[in-house]
Chains A and B, each alone.
Chain A
Amino acid sequence: MAYSDKVLDHYENPRNVGVLDKDDPNVGTGMVGAPACGDVMRLQIKINDDGIIEDAKFKTYGCGSAIASSSLVTEMVKGKTLDEVGEIRNKHIADELALPPVKIHCSVLAEDAIAAAIADIKAKRAARDGSEAVAS
């Protein structure tokens, strides 16, 4: 299978590979996929006090398109709010990387990873706000 230049670029020079502290209340972690399916994506986002995503990291086990999709997503989310990031659809990723039809599910996985990371951070906030309310 031939890969697009964009996929190759992200694959060869993946952006924002790494790990953020998953216990940090400002960090949301989304882990999606399964080893049995041949793909597992972990996306982490960190928001600042203004609710803006200031950092994002990923690690991915999967094909080249899955790795490129997650690398691209870390670039797309930085500087955006959670609501803005929630608008990102797999089509944006697939179009940007010129993924062929058999590789669309890799971009779906990236969309799922974003949603999971947002959900994680919202859950953390809800828990924190909840406990603060009890304390006061």
Chain B
Amino acid sequence: MSSLNIPIYMDYSATTPVDERVAAKMAECLTKQGHFGNPASRSHPFGWAADELVEQSRDNVAKLLGANSKEIVWTSGATESDNLAIKGAARFNVKKGKHIVTLKTEHKAVLDTCRQLEREGFEVTYLDPLENGLLDLDVFKAALRDDTTVVSIMHVNNEIGVIQDLAAIGKITRERGIIFHVDAAQSPGKVAIDVEAMNVDLMSLCAHKVYGPKGIGALYVRRKPRIRLEAQIHGGGHERGMRSGTLATHQIVGMGEAFRIAHEEMDAENIRMGALRDRLWNGFSDMEEIYLNGDLEQRIPGNLNVSFNFVEGESLIMSMKDIAVSSGSACTSASLEPSYVLRAIGRNDELAHSSIRFTIGRFTTEEEIDFTIAKTREAVEKLRDLSPLWDMHNEGIDLASVVWASH
């Protein structure tokens, strides 16, 4: 028990540390001894060298998706990719229709982009997922209309880790000639992607969830059949006019290397992480009144989202101060709303307020898992001793029947 580094990082879905192998490659693209040139400089070797690295990286990203490198557009991250994909496709196709379909559990980068389009006169349908977090395909089919131009459904949910059946969705959108956008910020290296088999038209990606740097991402834009977008950032016409701005060689090289490693090591890594996640879940399974949020099977191995009933999430995080996790509870964000993702899958406010997201990753160890189990149990016990709701539960009072003095 000596190698534990406190605090322990259990928040890999928020972001990841950059892999040392990635950092080394990035460092080669910064100084005058390295490849600092502007990849758009066609007139000298500084530019050529940088351009070659950018194109290698594009290949690496494309390979992970089963795509062609010409289909990859560099952006600043998944947020920008979501904006470019949804606004770009909706606005370009505005003559065909103004209806968009998405899911209530999407990331804010998708939801807020849709809200903006609503303000511009588009109509958006926000679908309720099933209780396990997955999209009901019949509900989905029923929501599609003749004027639906864009569907945006995420691959892996950032809070509950559930994996949507992209192939099934893509089959439907392809048949109907609707553009299918996927926010896949959370999937590379965790679940296999094949844009051909899945009939995905646009896919948002970022590097920082995959042991690459922050501030770099990509949008996959299908060429056959060709998907056309209205650019959102105008300028020197980089990235075939879809996203102007000097390419950040070091960031791109970081993303390329991160994706290369993720592609290569995914299978082995998933086996290891699955075992760690199961160990964590087993460590809690005999506790009373705990609830797993989201489907256990259709889920990435690194995610465990649990509600510890009668304990409030923020105070739980506070007493687990040696462990870095995140909570779906209101008070962490000062927004006073419990997680909209947990509400969308039908969790009541109490359970939504009581949730903790543990996300494990490449550098998580068995020792860290055991420590996390012990600390979490200790904290839950302490807070339940402090909780009037726990008392009431033990007295057999149904909390739903109590009239609360709300404030």
Contacts and interface: CB of A to CB of B under 8 A. Distances in A.
A19 interface: yes
A67 B386 contact: yes
Interface stretch (B256-264, B275-283, B398-406): B398-406
A55 B311 CA distance: 26
B318 A61 contact: no
Nearest to B313: A38
A31 B391 CA distance: 13
B321 to A, nearest CB: 9
> How many A residues touch the partner, as a band?
20 to 34
A3 B318 CA distance: 9
Given A11-B318, A19-B391, A64-B318, A34 B386 contact: no
Interface string A47-79: 000000000000111111011000000000000
Interface residues of B, number: 31
Interface in B292-319: 310-315, 318-319
Interface string A4-48: 000000010010010100000000000111111111111000000
Contacts of A35: 349-350, 353, 389, 399, 404
Contacts of A32: 405, 407
Nearest to B406: A34
Interface string B369-407: 000000000000000011111110000000100001111
Nearest to A101: B334
A109 interface: yes
Contact of B386 (A14, A33, A36, A39): A14
Contacts of B331: 38, 63, 102
Given A35-B350, A35-B353, A116-B405, A40 B314 contact: no
A38 B386 contact: no
A97 to B, nearest CB: 14
Interface of B, helix, strand, loop or mixed by DSSP: helix
B217 interface: no
A39 B386 CA distance: 12
B133 interface: no
A100 to B, nearest CB: 9
B329 A36 contact: no
Nearest to A70: B386
B388 A42 contact: yes
Given A36-B353, A67-B315, 16 more contacts: A1-B332, A17-B385, A17-B386, A32-B405, A34-B406, A35-B399, A36-B348, A38-B336, A42-B388, A61-B310, A63-B315, A64-B314, A64-B318, A66-B315, A67-B386, A109-B407
Interface of A: 1, 3, 11, 14, 17, 19, 31-42, 59-64, 66-67, 102, 105, 108-109, 112, 116
22 contacts: A1-B332, A11-B315, A11-B318, A31-B405, A32-B407, A33-B404, A33-B406, A36-B348, A37-B349, A38-B314, A59-B388, A59-B391, A60-B387, A61-B310, A61-B312, A61-B386, A61-B388, A61-B390, A62-B312, A63-B318, A64-B314, A64-B318
